[in-house]
């Protein structure tokens, strides 16, 4: 399979979250740079450095299923060779008896390489103070 080519940071980020939803580690790693300096921090987890360690960390997370994740509140700082995306991730952590969500603040840094834009850093941490609106909505529905 030829490596994917991303012509913009937005393309790369779209592919990244699609891969997470699909639970497809190969597609996910195709978004990452192959540079040994890449770093990935999962919420409340240690730092993983380099493609091999980053792949292993995602294989464990995606072992059973894809992540039901939606992204909002995109904030971007960029120049011609780099894009810094800050987003709020809403991840479904339970489906039954009612949907429950975890909220995560994530920083994704993309750099322009010879073959297109690639992810070089993902730093995620719990987002404190975000309402679990999904659960609240479900709760409201159950009460009526």
Per CB under 8 A, residues contacting a copy of itself are 33, 35, 37-39, 41, 43-47, 49, 73, 75-77, 79-82, 84, 86, 105, 107, 109, 111-112, 120-121, 123, 125-129
Contact 105, 127 (CB under 8 A): yes
Closer CB to a copy of itself, residue 65 or residue 81?
81
C-beta of 124: minimal distance to a copy of itself in Å? 8
| CB-nearer residue toward a copy of itself: 20 or 87 | 87
**Three-state DSSP class for 37?**
coil
Contact 43, 124 (CB under 8 A): yes
Least gap, CB of 9 to a copy of itself (angstroms): 12
Sign of CA dihedral 7, 10, 16, 20: negative
Both structure tokens of 48: 């993983």
């Amino acid at each position: 399979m030829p490596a994917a080519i991303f012509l913009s940071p937005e393309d790369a980020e779209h592919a990244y979250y699609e891969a997470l939803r699909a639970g497809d580690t190969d597609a996910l790693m195709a978004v990452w740079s192959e540079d040994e300096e890449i770093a990935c921090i999962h919420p409340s987890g240690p730092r993983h450095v380099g493609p091999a360690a980053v792949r292993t960390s995602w294989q464990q997370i995606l072992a059973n299923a894809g992540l039901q994740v939606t992204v909002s509140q995109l904030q971007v700082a960029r120049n011609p060779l780099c894009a810094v995306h800050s987003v709020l991730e809403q991840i479904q952590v339970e489906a039954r008896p009612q949907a429950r969500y975890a909220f995560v603040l994530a920083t994704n840094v993309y750099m322009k390489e010879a073959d297109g834009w690639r992810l070089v850093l993902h730093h995620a941490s719990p987002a404190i103070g975000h309402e679990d609106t999904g659960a609240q909505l479900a709760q409201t529905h159950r009460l009526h």
